[in-house]
Chains A and B, each alone.
Chain A
Amino acid sequence: MNSGRCFGAGSALLVLIFSILCLTVSALTALSSASGERVLSEKVGSVISDYYSADCRAVETAVALREGIRNGEVPDKIGEIAINVDENGQYSFSVPINEDLALAVRLAEKDRKLMIVSWLQTRTNEWTPNETLKVWTGETVP
């Protein structure tokens, strides 16, 4: 009677290969997820750092513009940043944050002082909507 060997020869190896495979897949998934998280954290840090660098340049530009206005002379350009004046007498300029984003600043003059109208992060590259999916607009009944 062979009651001690209910599993055939090699079953231990098969179980082992399966458990090693499970363990390895699980470990690699954890590593890939952690690596992705690390890359995302670094990207967020880089964007925040770039934003504050641009904010510093915007502050410098606004201060230089204020000094120019006090001296009675509005410059066309401060450093590499072009100053635009619109029909309402508001000054605007844009400081690049990175290749996709810019800090758009709009200032208004009041009693020889500059007031911040807007200080916004905007997108510089064009947004192209995806129109490949046909959606029923309700105009015609199919």
Chain B
Amino acid sequence: MKKHIGFGTELTLLELIIAVGLFAVFAALDLRIFAEAHRLEAQSKKLDHAVIVAESVAECFKAGEAPDLYYDIDWLPTDNVSADYIVTVDIASEDKIESARISVKDKSTELFSLTASVPKEALP
């Protein structure tokens, strides 16, 4: 017996091929959008942590301490060898004021920086 393959079956196959092709194209575009969203979210998370850390160090400096701090990828304190984020404090001393430039960096770029100052003879 001869098996009959009609025009309808061919059309369904063609339709499925077009559907899979279109899905692949749009899925690729959507994946790019998801990747961009993930990148933006990671950046803002880094910036949030950097701001909090810089503010803490600024308050430490105003209280009389100026620690260099090291953080791992999850922003937990670590040693300088395995650090992913580094907080540096550059102190500049003027006549009656001591100021510190606090900078939070990852391995390649500076994430956030601020300058805090304190009088040498403290205002009680």
Contact = CB atoms under 8 A, between A and B. Distances in A.
Interface of B: 8, 11-12, 15-16, 18-19, 22-23, 26-27, 29-31, 33-34, 36-38, 40-41, 43-45, 47-48, 50-51, 54-55, 58, 96-97, 99, 112-119, 123-124
Contacts of A82: none
B40 A34 contact: yes
Main SS of the interface on chain B?
Answer: helix
Nearest to B40: A34
B34 A60 contact: no
Interface of A: 5, 9-10, 12-13, 15-16, 19-20, 23-24, 26-28, 30-31, 33-35, 37-38, 40-42, 44-45, 48-49, 52-53, 55-56, 59-60, 62-63, 66-67, 107, 113-116
Contact of B117 (A19, A45, A60, A116): A60
B40 to A, nearest CB: 4
Nearest to A119: B123
A102 B63 CA distance: 22
A42 B22 CA distance: 38
A67 B119 CA distance: 12
A129 to B, nearest CB: 31
A9 B8 contact: yes
Contacts of B40: 31, 34-35, 37-38
B124 A48 contact: no
User: Which of B11, B27, B43, B123: most chain A Cβ within 10 A?
Assistant: B123
Nearest to B50: A45
Contacts of A23: 26-27, 30
B124 A67 contact: no
A52 B115 contact: yes
